[in-house]
C-alpha cells in the first residue's frame, strides 16, 4: 500500500490523504479510516488513479459528499476516491445541463431555479452529489433523477469508462444499474430540463425546502432516509406506529421528528447504527409482517 500511496502522490492527481477518518467525509459523521483517500483534480487525474490502482491490484471505491452512506467503524481497505473539487464543473446549453458528479445537488437545484429552468425542484433539499443522486436514482415529491437524466458518464468497477443513456441505466425506485447489475459511479450527468417561470420554480423550491426543514432532522448528523418505503406503506409511518421514534442504542437514535431517519445523537458508532437498524427491522417484521430494506448504503470492512 505504501508504494501505491507514493505513486499517487508523485502523479500529481490531486489531494492524497493517508489513514483518513471517513467520519470527516460522511454526513452522519461516522466511519473509520480509509487506508488512502484521494480527491482527483479532474477526470484525467481520475483515469490516472484507476490505472495506478489496477496496476497494483489494490481495492478501490468512490464516494461523493457522504450522504446516504454508513461507513463501518473499521474503515475501508485500499483507496477511496472522493468526487468533489475537480469534478464539480457545470455547463448550461439552453435547457441541457452537463454537470460533474461531485457537484452539490442542493447548490445545483438553487442555481438553475434562478435561471428559470425547471426539473430539479424535487431535489431542493436533497444533500449529496449529482453522482450519488444518479447512482441511487434520488427523488422526492413525486419525481426523481430518472425523469431528467439524458446520459451519464460512468466509471465501472473494472476501471472502464462509458457513456450510458437513460434507458441503459435501468432506473427504478431508488435504484439504478450502477448499484448491483454493473457496479460503477457517475462522473458526469447530462440533464434535460425545461424552461419555466422563474418565480414559480423558486416558489416550489422554497416549499420543498421548508417541508424538509420542518419534517426532517437535519440539525443532527444523519444519512438521510434509512429504509426504502415498502409501498404502498411508508417506512417512517411504520416506525412511528411501532412506537420507535426516539429509541436509542448507544449514540444512535431514531429521530423524534421522522421515523425513517437515524441520527448521530452524540458519539454514535457504525455498530450502534447497525444494531438500531436491526432492532427496527425486527420490530416492524414482528408487528407488520413487512421486511424493511435499507436505502442507506453500508460499506467498509466487516460490513
Q: Contact at 8 Å (CB) between 160 and 154?
A: no
Measured CA to CA in angstroms, residue 123 lies from 52, 81, 148, 268 at distances of: 36, 24, 12, 28
Q: Contact at 8 Å (CB) between 268 and 250?
A: yes
Containing 272, the helix (H) or strand (E) segment is helix 270-288
Measured CA to CA in angstroms, residue 48 lies from 9, 11, 42, 177 at distances of: 12, 8, 10, 25
Spatial separation of the C-alpha atoms in residues 96 and 90, rounded to whole Å: 11
Residue 113 annotated among the catalytic residues of the structure: no
Spatial separation of the C-alpha atoms in residues 263 and 176, rounded to whole Å: 26
Spatial separation of the C-alpha atoms in residues 27 and 54, rounded to whole Å: 29
Spatial separation of the C-alpha atoms in residues 235 and 226, rounded to whole Å: 9
- SS3 call for 84: strand
Considering 72, 124, 225, 255, which one is annotated as catalytic?
225
Q: Contact at 8 Å (CB) between 108 and 124?
A: no
Cβ-based neighbours of 143, under 8 Å, separated by 6 or more: 121, 122
Residue 162 annotated among the catalytic residues of the structure: no
Residue 291 annotated among the catalytic residues of the structure: no
- Read off the C-alpha cell for 15: 489531494
Considering 61, 174, 212, 228, which one is annotated as catalytic?
174
Q: Which residues are catalytic?
A: 174, 225, 295
Amino acid at each position: 500500500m505504501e508504494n501505491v500511496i507514493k505513486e499517487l502522490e508523485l502523479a500529481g492527481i490531486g489531494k492524497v490523504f493517508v489513514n483518513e477518518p471517513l467520519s470527516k467525509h460522511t454526513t452522519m459523521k461516522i466511519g473509520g479510516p480509509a487506508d488512502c483517500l484521494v480527491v482527483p483534480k479532474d477526470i484525467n487525474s481520475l483515469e490516472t488513479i484507476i490505472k495506478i490502482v489496477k496496476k497494483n491490484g489494490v481495492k478501490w471505491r468512490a464516494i461523493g459528499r457522504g450522504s446516504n452512506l454508513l461507513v463501518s467503524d473499521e474503515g475501508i481497505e485500499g483507496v477511496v476516491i472522493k468526487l468533489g473539487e475537480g469534478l464539480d464543473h457545470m455547463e448550461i446549453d439552453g435547457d441541457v445541463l452537463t454537470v460533474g458528479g461531485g457537484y452539490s445537488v442542493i447548490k445545483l437545484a438553487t442555481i438553475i431555479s434562478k435561471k428559470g429552468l425547471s426539473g430539479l425542484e424535487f431535489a431542493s433539499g436533497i444533500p449529496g452529489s449529482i453522482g450519488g443522486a444518479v447512482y441511487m436514482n434520488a427523488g422526492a415529491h413525486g419525481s426523481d433523477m430518472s425523469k431528467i437524466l439524458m446520459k451519464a458518464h460512468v466509471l465501472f468497477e473494472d476501471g472502464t469508462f462509458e457513456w450510458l443513456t437513460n434507458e441503459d441505466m435501468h432506473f427504478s425506485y431508488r435504484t439504478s444499474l450502477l448499484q448491483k447489475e454493473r457496479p460503477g459511479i457517475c462522473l458526469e450527468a447530462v440533464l434535460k430540463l425545461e424552461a419555466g417561470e422563474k418565480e414559480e420554480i423558486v416558489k416550489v423550491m422554497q416549499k420543498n425546502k421548508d417541508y424538509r426543514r420542518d419534517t426532517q432532522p437535519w440539525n443532527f448528523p444523519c444519512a438521510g432516509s434509512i429504509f426504502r418505503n415498502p409501498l404502498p406503506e411508508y417506512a417512517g409511518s411504520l416506525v412511528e406506529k411501532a412506537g420507535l421514534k426516539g429509541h436509542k442504542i448507544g449514540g444512535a437514535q431514531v429521530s423524534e421528528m421522522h421515523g425513517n431517519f437515524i441520527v448521530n445523537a452524540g458519539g454514535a458508532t457504525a455498530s450502534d447504527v447497525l444494531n438500531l437498524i436491526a432492532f427496527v427491522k425486527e420490530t416492524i417484521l414482528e408487528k407488520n409482517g413487512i421486511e424493511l430494506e435499507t436505502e442507506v448504503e453500508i460499506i467498509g470492512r466487516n460490513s
